[in-house]
Amino acid sequence: MTDPILERLSEEFLAQAGQHDWHFAAALAPEQQDALLASCDVLVCARLTAEQARGCSARYVHITGIGADRVAVAQLPAGTIVSRTGHHERSIAEHIVMVSMIHQRRLLETNRELQAGVWRTVATAPDVPMNPTFSGLTFGFVGLGGIGEQALALCTALGARSVAVRRNPDGELSAGLDWVKGMDALPELLAISDVVVLGVPLTAQTTGLIGARQLAQMRSNALLVNVARGAVIDEEALFEALVSNSIGGAALDVWWDAPAGTTAPESVRRFAQLPNVIATPHNSGHTLDTFGSRAREIAQNITAFADGRTPSNQL
């Protein structure tokens, strides 16, 4: 195992699949990791370079997240079985609800005012708006996979109205949706939504999906929530929209640049400094529930592979 996050749950792996010979290698030097890659039967990882993949002897590789973009799957030896795992849907759905409440209740603004010693409420200042509840909001889901479905259920339970666009709009209407349409209905969704949630995969079709034209179609007080990939939004167009206050704000958990260690990239820092941005370091799914569930599925899949059974969630 080379994933430093899941290595924290090493005791869970040993409890679930202790009959196997585990090597927790996240902290080892690169040459030591390479030696293990060349001799292992199973690799559990979040990242794998093309060079590492070509030198990997594993017959089974388990990616510790749902995305495979940081693992050089194509360079693995022919016949290598690859699985991935998710279990982050509920955690990210709760994050969507959290940032939506923070924005609608003006939590960041009022907190800054109190830190400055200013007490502003509808009782003390006539220009302070009355905050809405979820029962007065419309959520627009761009993409409706597992995360969107979980967030939809939570928003519906809180009384919100919801609409959605997705690549394939056919099929049964999810409970709580007013309507679901094809991606060509994106302008309609943007025009009526108080909160726009981006949950599409990053593809050639979704890169730059939200640009200046789409941002201009949003309500002036609307919140844009991105839990998909940074490149789904045109970075410069969003920055301009936020600086000019042409939209209400953005909650960004995914970014355009990858961090170097614990230093946030400049593209992150400039957005995080804006008063109408809720910035998080790609951690919306980082809960014990997510990682504990991943550990259990990975351990079960490794045992299934060892027993000649079919592991789940294969690529």
pLDDT tens across 287-299, in order? 999 999 999 999 9
pLDDT for the residue 137: 98
- In terms of domains, do 94 and 83 share one? no
In sequence order, which residues have a C-beta less than 8 Å from that of residue 137 and are 6 or more positions away?
100, 104, 155, 160, 161, 194, 195
**What CATH number corresponds to the domain at position 234?**
3.40.50.720
What pLDDT does residue 259 have? 81
Q: Residue written as tokens 């946030």? A: 264
What pLDDT was estimated at residue 79? 96
Is residue 78 domain-shared with residue 96, that is, in the same domain? Answer: no
pLDDT of residue 69: 86
Query: Which pLDDT score, from 0 to 100, does residue 173 have?
Result: 84
Two structure tokens written together for 112: 């800054």
Q: What is the pLDDT at residue 236?
A: 98
Is the residue at 315 inside a domain?
Answer: no
Number of domains present in the structure of the chain: 2
User: Is the residue at 312 inside a domain?
Assistant: no
Do residue 234 and residue 102 come from a single domain?
Answer: yes
Say if residue 254 is in the same domain as residue 108: yes
The predicted structure's pLDDT at residue 303: 97
Question: 34 with 115, same domain?
Answer: no
Statement to judge: residues 133 and 36 lie in one domain:
no
Separation of alpha carbons 81 and 97, rounded Å: 37
pLDDT value for 95? 98
Q: Report how far apart, in Å, the C-alpha atoms of 175 and of each of 135, 145, 149, 156, 185 are.
A: 16, 14, 9, 8, 20
- pLDDT at position 111: 97
pLDDT given at position 170: 87
* Residue 1 counted as domain residue: no
Q: Could you say which residues of the chain have pLDDT below 50? A: none
pTM score of the predicted model? 0.92
Domain co-membership, 19 together with 39: yes
What pLDDT, in 10s, does the model give residues 41-60? Answer: 999 999 999 999 999 999 99
